[in-house]
Structure 1
Amino acid sequence: MTTTANATAGKSATSAKNPWAALAALCVGFFLIMMDTTIVTVAIPGIMDGLHADLNQITWVHSVYLLTYAVPLLVAGRLGDRFGRKPVFLSGMAVFTAASLWCGLSGSAGMLMTARAVQGVGAALMAPQTMAFVTTLFPANRRGAALGIWGAVAGLATTVGPLLGGFLVGSAGWQWIFLVNVPIGLAGLVMTVKLVPGGQPRNHRRFDLPGTLLSGLGLFAVVFGLQNGQHYDWGTVAGPLTVPMVIGAGVVLLVVFVLWQRFNPREPLMPLSLFRRRHFSTAAFAAAAIGFAVTGLYLPLTLYMQAVMELSPQQAGLLMVPVAVSSGLAGPLAGTLSDRLPGKWVVLAGFLIFAAGLGMIVLAMRPDGGVWQLAGALFFAGIGTGAAFAPMANVATGSLPVADIGAGAGMYNSIRQVGCVIGAAAVGVLMQAQLSSRLATETLAENATAAERHAFHAGLAQASGTTLLLPVAVLLVGALACLLMPSGKSAPTEKPAAQPLDAPNSDLQKVG
């Protein structure tokens, strides 16, 4: 009788929560995470002047965030399963907000790098929980619409980053690209406490310490090598240690990690059985492909806008508005559509539209290219990213057992983030090769003739356009992965009732 009463009370308490309000609170944290992956790029000159730092140090301000964000994602997903997603999310947001304040108050490049590293850890704690929460807050027939909003937030945040960063640096100083996170983060903490339910399934089995160490060190070595290989000219890092050796060691550690997960008799950090689910494995591969393309877009595009079109950082940021608008409109629509159609076709359409949009951007990258042609191409590309992102997440997590949702979300985000890092590194190397083959010098003298200026701009434009063909090719490979997705709608194969639940809110699957 008591058990029944408690279950009824738990259901009532949970049902009183509005899942859309809870999603809004979670999206505040997710917005901050994604915005901070791009906001620093436009502030690099200001930070260098303000902290009297060199380019290498400021490059690390960007790289260290990506490192400490990508590496702990697998562990963070499992922490949500073990200790509850709400407390782990709140902890991550508190760490992220405090670290943002620390970044804004930093007086040296070393302090700023340390603060950014802590900020990345906070982001890693939050990211898997936001995706896992959607699968428990919403029933299957409404999950696509919710993930559509989640995906739209990701697209909006990454494009708002350069726009907001350019405005803040120009009007208030570089410190405010970090300090702006503080009031938003505090508001997000209050919203999460009040609006997000706290009764998620918990898994109290053993924690995989060897798997944690192997995956963490392996991912760190691979991401470090890829993210910073260009800085070290793909040669010596320190003493006899080279970039290929670092990447090779990381790959070996990850292979050992996979073998350990295969033979681990206890609870594995990364259940390999998830990759036997074609919904998950194909969506994870597609996520890496779109992460590669989105990250790979920014370097050649920014270089073209500022060096060829000679736009200021603020003007270049404004030119990214069409991507934010179209992605924000397409995401919720595509998510809702994936509730009615097999998600693979919506994701495939998004990939093909994004690839076509990048092709239009390549055609617009001429020495005399116009703003409106580029803006139109960016708008079209944004439709593709918004259409692909949300249904892809729905396909990946829709069929996962409840006990593995946190691990699956962590794996999905880790794979996507590694795709982002590989994209940034590969495009950077290709861009450098294109520039060295097409330009005799790396700078243009102030007293250059009109012919010299045109030749310089033509070389930069051609190098930028040619480099963008690599993300287009990767998107087409990702489209093939979309075709391999099962046509049927995904459905979980394990019921949440078999798992121990937190009191009092234990019926999250029936919310909404």
Structure 2
Amino acid sequence: MEQGDGQSYSRRFILVLITIATFLNPFTGTAINLALPVIGTEFSADATTLAWVSSAYLLSSVIFLLPAGKLGDSRGKVTVFMAGIVVYTAGAILTIFTPTIGTLLVFRFLQGIGGAMIYANSVALITHLYPAGERGYAIGLNITAVYAALSLGPFLGGILTQFFGWRSIFVVTALIAAPVLFSADKFPAFLNDRHREDFDIPGLVLSSALILCLFLGLAKATTPTGLALLAAALLLGVAFYRVERRHPSPLLPVSLLASNRVFASSNLAALINYSATYAVGFLLSLYLQYIRGYEPAAAGTLLLVQPVIQIFVAPVAGRLADRIRPGLIAAGGLALSAACLFGLAALSETTPVAAIIVILAVLGVGVGLFSSPNTTAVMGSVGKRYYGSASAMVAMMRSLGMMMSMGLVLVVFAVIMGSTVVTPAIFPEFLASMNLIFLVFAVLSVFGIFLSLKKND
């Protein structure tokens, strides 16, 4: 037990609580994907509407990440974190009883707000709780929870949906959140320090409009409407940056981006990493089922290789980041990822499955080596006053990277394959699209290597 502000607390127990909360978001997100066909049947929903079951959550979480981080700095990180648990759990309980597809989308949007409040402050709390020499390992364990959720989500989501119905996913989510919900008094007071500042309302409005235009524009990037939305996003981005430069308490820590090279390059490297790796599972799932004839269960099992490897590598990488400069480890991880992505860019109809498994295993090592040290570098580059904003920026880069990764996939598919259903007749076009996407991802990763190394100059 440790002592702080006259209060006894257990760092390990608090880390467990934060890690459980971190597990919730990716678990629910991946588990619900397995339930979409059943949800579609129950509510007679089309494919576009079903896509919004996941997209509504992602959109709201991205919009509210920066505000949630800023609120954590100004109103107390524990306060905002626990409020996020309440909102997330309320969304889960409401979803259990949802009567229509419309209310389901509303409740998923609500869960996204809660998820943003959790994610924006979880790493900030760990950074405040652990000193520099132990922080990397703690962050590594927290990131391990994300990879564990990504691994277990599809598996448990399928089982829960098949035997207990899709609503049971949210019953389990609420039960997982319960221990955290009733442990607010276990957090020491010093973790809830505050720096009272005016809230940046103009920044919130502009950033929300920017993210919405970017989100919708990427989804329709090959249409005139999509291009107009992307142009609007660019203009809104310029306006947002100018407003943030003048605001005394901006949502986006512009001063850190301008003056703190480690903070800026680490966040950009995170954006590149997630942009280059998030869509790998999606693309390989299609490749294994369409080109190689795998059943969904077999394809899913093979794709578990990468996240399972990441579960074991992330805490080790975090421990290394406590002893070696984090940028060097992150650069090594990106180098491995780049090599694997170049390998995936050469996939054909006859590539040995053993080779794919090896590539996925090494990619798991690469991603695992990158995430913990890079996050440690970001959080170690700022003072306590900015922990919430820095934590939110890391989460923001992750979410934007996911959006950009899938956006590139949509654009390339639309240009090369159009809206044609994937049949044996267009398998060559599908392979060409996939190879091109992986090549772009590989080049992005190479650029990320130099950004990570720049932290150590």
Shift of 1:250: 2.6
Which of 263, 275, 292 is the aligned partner of 1:280? 263
Structure 2 segments unaligned to the other structure (5+ residues): none
Q: Does 1:338 align with 2:324?
A: no
The superposition leaves residues 31-79 of structure 1 with CA deviations (integer Å, 9 ceiling, x where unpaired) of 1112334333333322222221101100111111110010111100011
Query: Which TM-score applies when normalising by structure 1?
Result: 0.83
Aligned-pair RMSD on alpha carbons?
Answer: 2.3
Q: Percent identity?
A: 27
* Rounded Cα–Cα distance in structure 2 between residues aligned with 1:121 and 1:36: 14
The structure with the largest alpha-carbon Rg is 1
Q: Would you say the 8 A contact 1:269–1:407 is kept in 2?
A: yes
Residue 255 in structure 1 maps to residue 238 in structure 2: yes
Report how far residue 318 of structure 1 moved: 1.9
Distance 1:443 1:251 in 2: 33
**What do residues 394-414 of structure 1 show as CA deviations (whole Å, max 9, x unaligned)?**
111102011111112222322
1:11 paired to 2:2: no
Q: Which runs of 5+ in 1 are unaligned?
A: 1-7, 236-241, 445-452, 488-512
Aligned mate of 1:90, from 79, 82, 105: 82
Query: Does the CA contact (< 8 Å) of 1:164 and 1:317 recur in 2?
Result: no
Task: Report the Cα distance in structure 2 between the residues aligned to 1:461 and 1:169, rounded to whole angstroms.
Answer: 32
CA distance in 2, matches of 1:470, 1:46: 35
Between the aligned partners of 2:377 and 2:434, the Cα distance in structure 1 is: 33
Picking from 406, 411, 418, the partner of 1:429 is 411
Give the length in aligned residue pairs. 454
> What does residue range 277-316 of structure 1 map to in structure 2 within 5 Å?
277-316=260-299
Query: Which residue matches 1:473?
Result: 443
Q: Residue 234 of structure 1 corresponds to which residue in structure 2?
A: 223
Query: Which residue of structure 1 aligns with residue 146 of structure 2?
Result: 154
Any idea what SS the aligned residue of 1:39 has?
A: helix
Counterpart-to-counterpart distance in 1, 2:94 and 2:18: 23
* Counterpart pick for 2:373 among 391, 401, 413: 391
| Residue number among 88, 97, 100 corresponding to 1:108 in the alignment | 100
Q: Deviations over 1:412-452 (max 9, x none)?
A: 3223321221111112221343435xx9x6254xxxxxxxx
Residue 163 of structure 1 contacts residue 316 of structure 1 at CA under 8 Å; is this kept in 2?
no
Question: Is the alpha carbon distance of 1:187 and 1:325 closer, same or farther for their aligned partners in structure 2, counting shifts above 3 Å?
Answer: same
Which shows bigger deviation, 74-83 or 354-363?
354-363
TM score, norm. by length of structure 2? 0.92
What letter is aligned with 1:410? A
In the other structure, the counterpart of 1:482 is 452
Using the TM superposition, give the Cα deviation of residue 314 of structure 1 relative to its aligned residue in structure 2, in angstroms. Answer: 3.0
Q: Quote the Cα distance in structure 2 between the aligned partners of 1:169 and 1:372.
A: 31
Higher relative contact order (CA 8 A, sep 6+): 1
Cα pair distance change 1:195/1:10, threshold 3 Å: closer
Partner of 1:367: 349
Counterpart of 2:198 in 1: which secondary structure?
coil
Name the CA shift for 1:176/1:398 in 2 (closer, same or farther; >3 Å). Answer: same
Residue 5 of structure 2 aligns to a residue in which SS? helix
Post-superposition offset of 1:221: 2.1
8 Å CA contact 1:221–1:250 kept in 2: the answer is yes
Distance 1:180 1:143, change over 3 A: same
Query: In 1, distance between residues paired with 2:384 and 2:101?
Result: 43
**Counterpart for residue 205 of structure 2:** 213
1:73 to 65, 83, 91: 65
Equivalent residue letter for 1:298:
G
Deviation at 1:362, TM superposition (A): 4.2
Q: Give the 3-state SS of the residue equivalent to 2:398 in structure 1.
A: helix
Could you tell me whether the CA contact under 8 Å between 1:163 and 1:320 is conserved in 2? no
Q: Match of 1:326, as an amino acid?
A: I
Change (3 A) 1:39 1:461: farther
Shift of 1:10: 4.4
Instruction: Work out whether residues 160 and 321 of structure 1, in 8 Å CA contact, stay in contact via their aligned partners in 2.
Output: no
Tell whether the 8 Å contact from 1:284 to 1:416 is kept in structure 2 after alignment. Answer: no
Q: 1:302 to 1:333 in 2, by over 3 A?
A: same
Name the structure 1 match of 2:227: 244
Higher mean Cα deviation, 369-378 or 50-59? 369-378
Q: Does 1:197 align with 2:176?
A: no
- Which of residues 363, 366, 391 in structure 2 aligns to 1:409? 391
Q: Does 1:328 align with 2:307?
A: no
Q: Given the superposition, is the C-alpha separation of residues 108 and 145 from structure 1 closer, same or farther in structure 2, using an over 3 Å criterion?
A: same
Deviations 1:240-263 (A, max 9, x none): xx2222222232222222112212
Q: Which residue of 2 aligns with 1:49?
A: 41
- SS of the aligned residue for 1:337 comes to helix
